[in-house]
Amino acid sequence: MKIFVCGPTVYDSIHLGHARTYLVYDVLVRYLKLKGFDVILIVNITDLDDKVFDKAEWEGIAFKDLANRYTQEFITNLEKLKINSINAFHKASDYLNEIEYQIDHLIKKGCAYQVDGDIFFDVSSFPNYGLLSNQTHQELMLRRLNSNPKKRDQRDFFLWRSWIGKKPNFKNKFGIGRPGWHIEDTAISISIFKGGYDIHGGALDLVFPHHEAEIAQGESIISQHPFVKYWVHTGLLFLEDEKMSKSLGNIISLKDSLDQFDPDILRLYLLSCHYRETFNLKRNEIKKFESQVTLIRNIVTRLTKRILGFKGIQNNLPIKTLFKNHINNFYASLENDLDIPKALNALIFLLRAVDKDMVSTNQNLLNEILKMLSVLGLESSFGEK
């Protein structure tokens, strides 16, 4: 199972909205692996971007130094949140040669054109443009992005921008300039997966224009439909009823949140809303999930101690029907469009039922519970505590 998830633009710390996306994919990959899939999950690092260049210039440092700082912070904080399913992170700056190759290929196929050093993707060459975001030609014309008199069609988007008098810039066969945002991702994904792949993920606000453009580029480059079998998007994150975004300045960073809260509490809170729904984060609600984490840890610890203190045969006992029903509900919820909140409820119901059954000493039952905790990334919720 090949999965690509859009990574951050590394000019600042990621916020909890970003973290939610990677957390959902962490659970998805854990579950797929449990089901026997061999999963490869990669995340790109957008280090070739005007926001990175401008902030580096403002700080008076090289853009790579700035990008490396926030890339390392990003990876470190994912590890603290116990997001460990990502196989590799790939920087756009390492794929400039592939970007050049793909742009050249698109020009030769008649899917792109060059005007005064700028290169645009020709949307008219791709009839399915707008299909992912469910927009008609007329609707797309009303959503003009980067209006430019050089374009043949205002829906067309940059593959390469000529750049004069401002650094950093990059040189290739087309001249000096900077790559477009969308081509950076297809350069990485097609190089790694050698063509199309299974799942592409990111937040809902990337559907248009970013993912729409990736489809147009990807299918035109590899001459394959679909380029990606499934597009899976997480809902946006709001803070106190307002969309969380750096431009609005209403950011709660993952870094600051990890300084305040136990990672398990953050995981449970961010997983408490279905991944496709808008999550309205309220600061005073996060700590409420401490009781759930405590309940999980205490009950699993008590069950473990009972089993360790029991002298009889316990490893091959059948699991009681009541417990089995909760276990089945857990997995049925994950099978139903990865409904993690319902799966969490099934786990809590199971743990409470087990705790009431004071004579429970079934190792098979404990193994099932530990497996469920592992899918949710809560392995450290038991043990020495």
- Tell me the Ramachandran region of residue 223: left when phi exceeds 0, alpha when psi lies from -120 to 50, beta otherwise: left
- 248-305 pLDDT, tens per residue? 778 899 999 999 999 999 999 999 999 999 999 988 889 889 999 999 999 999 888 8
CATH architecture label of 284-381: Up-down Bundle (1.20)
Q: Identify the burial level of 370 via C-beta atoms within 10 angstroms of its C-beta, where 0-12 means exposed, 13-18 middle and 19 or more buried.
A: middle
Sequential DSSP letters for 228-252 = EEEEEEEPPEEETTEE--TTTT---
* Report for 40-54, 348-362, 367-381: range of highest mean pLDDT: 40-54
* Integer-rounded Cα radius of gyration of the chain: 24
* Domain ranges, ordered by start, for the chain: 2-281, 284-381
- 147-204 pLDDT, tens per residue? 788 899 989 999 999 987 788 999 999 999 999 999 999 999 999 999 999 999 999 9
Average pLDDT rounded to a whole number, residues 309-319: 64
How does 161-185 read in b/e, with b if 16+ C-beta sit within 10 Å?
Answer: bbbeeeeeebebebbebbbbbbbbb
| DSSP bridge partners of 349 | none
- 66-94 pLDDT, tens per residue? 999 999 999 999 999 999 999 999 999 99
Q: Which CATH class is domain 2-281?
A: alpha beta
- 210-259 pLDDT, tens per residue? 999 999 999 999 999 999 999 999 999 998 888 777 667 788 999 999 99
User: Cβ(268)–Cβ(349) under 8 Å?
Assistant: no
Average pLDDT, the chain: 92
Residues 176 and 178: their CA atoms lie apart, in Å, by 7
pLDDT-derived band at 139 (thresholds 50, 70, 90) equals confident
pLDDT at 360 over 70: no
Phi then psi for 326, rounded to 5 degrees?
Answer: -65, -40
Closest to 267 in 3D by CA, of 383, 382, 377? 377
Q: Which residue has the higher pLDDT, 12 or 246?
A: 12
pLDDT at 359 over 70: no
What is the percent of the chain with per-residue pLDDT over 90, rounded to a whole number? 77
Closest to 15 in 3D by CA, of 348, 225, 250, 277? 250
Residues 296 and 379: their CA atoms lie apart, in Å, by 11
pLDDT-derived band at 362 (thresholds 50, 70, 90) equals confident
- Name the pTM for this structure: 0.93
